[in-house]
Amino acid sequence: MKICGLTTQDAVEAAIDAGATMIGFVFARVSPRYVAPEKAAALAELARGKVQIVGLFADQGAEEIHAIRDSVGLDIVQIHGRENRAERFELVRAFPDCMLAKGIWQESDLPGEGDPVPGSWIFDALPPDGYKRQGGHGTPFDWSALKAYRGETPFILAGGLTPANVADAIRACDMFPAFSGVDVSSGVERSRGVKDPKRIAAFVEAALAARAALRTP
């Protein structure tokens, strides 16, 4: 379970205290959740050894990603931009354990044989027309499209998740063998780019309760 787009100590501590397994920092300047690497490095020290620390990058080269990864001490790199096919293959070669975002709206949008094979996929909703950034729009896609996914690479569900619908999302996706968790950003904010510790706690609580219920005989 990943809480992404964190920018403050309160938000980082809320995610850890609630029981999240991953936190994410956004290094794409176009995002309202952008955090400078120097600040992210200080926030990462609060989380190190408690959760996995993820850095989100969009349309940035491998050299820049390497530099930020090393300076912040990231555990995982997340590629979440509009990179073309060749650029994505290059980045997956450079970061074979990366999370690679894939915009989904219908079954035909799912990855196939011609796509790179990352460490894990993040299946996010395709952005509305006119948006320059890929994620953080607060709009879910039709989760039933995932029934056509035949890959073995695990996927994390993102896109429009909130404390109110995360349990439904988990129940809908738990039947898929490759489903490995959920990712939220805008759905736990009090205003654009500003996380709400109470919403973070509510999101994690609802997600954990849904997973526990599915595993109770």
124 counts as catalytic: yes
The count of other CB atoms within 10 Å of the CB of residue 109 is 16
| Main-chain dihedrals φ then ψ at residue 88, nearest 5 degrees | -70, -40
Pair 133, 59: CB distance under 8 Å: no
Pair 111, 92: CB distance under 8 Å: no
Question: From the candidates 4, 98, 173, 183, which is the catalytic residue?
Answer: 4
Question: From the candidates 98, 124, 173, 183, which is the catalytic residue?
Answer: 124
- Integer Cα distance of 105 and 4 in angstroms: 21
Pair 4, 20: CB distance under 8 Å: no
Query: Which residues participate in catalysis according to the annotation?
Result: 4, 124
